[in-house]
Amino acid sequence: MEAPVTIGYNLKSGKMGSKGIIKISDKFLEQQEVNKVALIAPTAKINIIRNYEVAEKMILTYPREVVDVVKCINPKCITNHEPMKTKFKQAAVANTYVCHYCERAINVENLIIE
């Protein structure tokens, strides 16, 4: 990244005791980037700050669908052999995604984020 990045951890928080932050100057996340953050840290919050004030707060949850973010772990899946975008949908089973092409179910802990 070319923009300045600030990382802080063990910062005092009135609600949580302590918290960590990552601040990226002049960067507004695309939906695909928000989905990556949500898969890694589904309880995270993203604050959009404009003119030194919080303009918007996003409370993350697992996305219902992720496109071109996660690699399928099935070695026989077509997405691992052809130049195409991967596509996963959230399954009825908690914390699980299913590949659109090979229908392999993958727990979020085993996802490979590209």
Q: For residue range 46-88, what is the model confidence (pLDDT) as tens digits?
A: 998 888 899 999 999 999 999 999 999 999 999 999 999 999 9
- Distance separating alpha carbons of residues 16 and 9, to the nearest angstrom: 13
Q: For residue range 95-107, what is the model confidence (pLDDT) as tens digits?
A: 999 999 999 999 9
Coil, strand or helix at 56: strand
- With 0-12 CB in 10 A as exposed, 13-18 as middle and 19+ as buried, what is 104? middle
DSSP string for residues in 3-44: S-EEEEEEEEETTTEEEEEEEETT----HHHHHHHHHH-TT-
